[in-house]
Structure 1
Amino acid sequence: MAVKYIQIAADLANKIKHEQYAAGDFLPSEPTLSQLYNVSRETIRKALTELADAGLIQKIQGKGSVVINAARIAFPVSNIESFDELNKQKQMHAATKIIELTDARVPFTISKHLSLTETAATYVKRLRLINHEPIVVDEDYILKKYVPQISPQQAQSSLYHYFEHDLGLEIDYATKTITVEPASASVIKQLQLTNTNLVVVVRSLTYLKDTSFFQYTISQHRPDKFKFVDFAHRKNKNGGLIL
């Protein structure tokens, strides 16, 4: 059973979705929500943080939480999270369609850059949909050295659950680059792009805890539906945080 603040966040998200709270409206105050859901203000704050992280509200100091345009779904840049995990967290009503699942080699530019000696990989190309609308095309190259095989069922659900819980891999960090590029004809068709031929491309190199590279991902996003969020501290000239 989901913890209370997750249940409250899901209920508020559903009300926002059905425009009980429309874009530009302020949600009830924390004390009012606390009474409405019969929970502490701390629980309400956690629920509101979930909504803010999902890109549904903006907290304004001294005023409260205002509903913002939910047409764009916020994707974290700094975290390593699977689409399945994001779907569960953000209540996106998402689905996955496998386009291709085959043996391949890590692209030469990547294998050369990383000086890889073993490049045998499984190539997985998937179309991600939210509310039946195509949103992102994911392409993954997963080294067979660490993941010998991937079934259609595993590719359909959560690869990271398979990697971590079934294979015991310890996924630790990733480097990411984000660019805006012209889409190929096939991606234009898959994402049903009509007003633009541009996509937001996120390329990720993912590593295990022992610093071994094991996955290369290319995610191509519809620019009208996704935004990317990050959290950053400004450092002083001595390398410490400015507080």
Structure 2
Amino acid sequence: MNKFNEISLEIQAAIINQIYLPGDLLPSENELSKKHEVSRETIRKALSLLLENGYIQKQQGKGSIVLDIKRFDFPISGLTSYKELQTAQHINSQTIVSSNIKMNLPSSLAERLRLPESTQVIYIERQRKVDGEVVILDKDYLLTSVISDMPNKAAQDSLYSYIENELGLVISYAQKEIIVELATSEDQRLMNLYDDTHVVVVRSDVYLEDTTLFQYTESRHRLDRFRFVDFARRKNPNEPK
């Protein structure tokens, strides 16, 4: 095994065993070079492996920052609010409501949803901070024909809790699309992406029990912190339909 591989695995084990904690700075290339009695080039190769595998993040002027390797599970199927996930998985999170306004549906969304451009919506934009860093940007468009108002307090806490418990509506199903896209200038401005060039985007058209469309949501996620999971069961092709 190459020396840089050995060093990479040794540092990886130290991160897994919490000798280095999330947010810690690794020793400098110089210090690691002396410790392992190798060249700085070998250390750079070891750090590159750790970077590629999601254990560290390089930040100019600081060095190598240890990442939280625990990724939170976001189910692909099912409709679960962020608040419910936060509670279930004990996520240390804070929500910042950066926008809560009434507006016309943007033309691109009107075309996607097959609605008139004059359709009125409440636009809610929320930054999700996890352990002090904004790693999710949520953008929600609520049709005012169904939901006439959304208090800031409810937007900060849980849209779905307010819709179900205060308005008495039954949220039933969604059509979802999950894609990796280039990060936009808005993503770079509103999220802590560092050198990331892409984000995971989850787009959902959400419907009530009576099949009324009431929400379009776009959730933009930093790549390193989340994984999307589902349970799949294979259907025997020979079983009668």
- TM-score w.r.t. structure 1 length? 0.67
> 1:166-185, aligned counterparts within 5 Å?
166-185=166-185
Seen in structure 2, the aligned counterparts of structure 1 residues 222 and 73 have a Cα distance that, compared at 3 Å, is same
Percent sequence identity is 38
**SS state at 2:181 partner:** strand
Distance 1:93 1:174 in 2: 27
Aligned to 1:211: 211
Deviation of the 1:154 alpha carbon: 1.3
Deviation of the 1:102 alpha carbon: 0.7
Distance 2:234 2:127 in 1: 37
Larger Rg: 2
Deviations 1:32-78 (A, max 9, x none): xxxxxxxxxxxxxxxxxxxxxxxxxxxxxxxxxxxxx8432111110
Give unpaired runs (5+ residues) of structure 2.
1-15, 22-67
Aligned to 2:84: 85
Count how many residue pairs are aligned between Structure 1 and Structure 2.
178
Deviation of the 1:228 alpha carbon: 0.3
Aligned to 2:132: 132
Letter in 1 for 2:105: V
**SS state at 2:172 partner:** strand
Deviation of the 1:109 alpha carbon: 3.5
Aligned to 1:115: 114
**Aligned-CA RMSD value:** 2.5
Letter in 1 for 2:119: T
Deviation of the 1:235 alpha carbon: 1.9
Matched, 1:102 2:90: no
Distance 2:201 2:219 in 1: 6
Give unpaired runs (5+ residues) of structure 1.
1-16, 23-68
Distance 2:198 2:239 in 1: 38
The question of whether the paired residues in 1 share the 8 Å contact of 2:201 and 2:219 is answered with yes
Aligned to 2:164: 164
Deviation of the 1:98 alpha carbon: 1.0
Matched, 1:224 2:221: no
Letter in 2 for 1:75: F
Aligned to 2:44: none
Distance 2:74 2:106 in 1: 26
> 1:29-68, aligned counterparts within 5 Å?
none
Moved more, 178-187 or 155-164: 178-187
- TM-score w.r.t. structure 2 length? 0.68
Deviation of the 1:106 alpha carbon: 2.8
Aligned to 2:151: 151
**SS state at 1:172 partner:** strand
Distance 2:113 2:128 in 1: 29
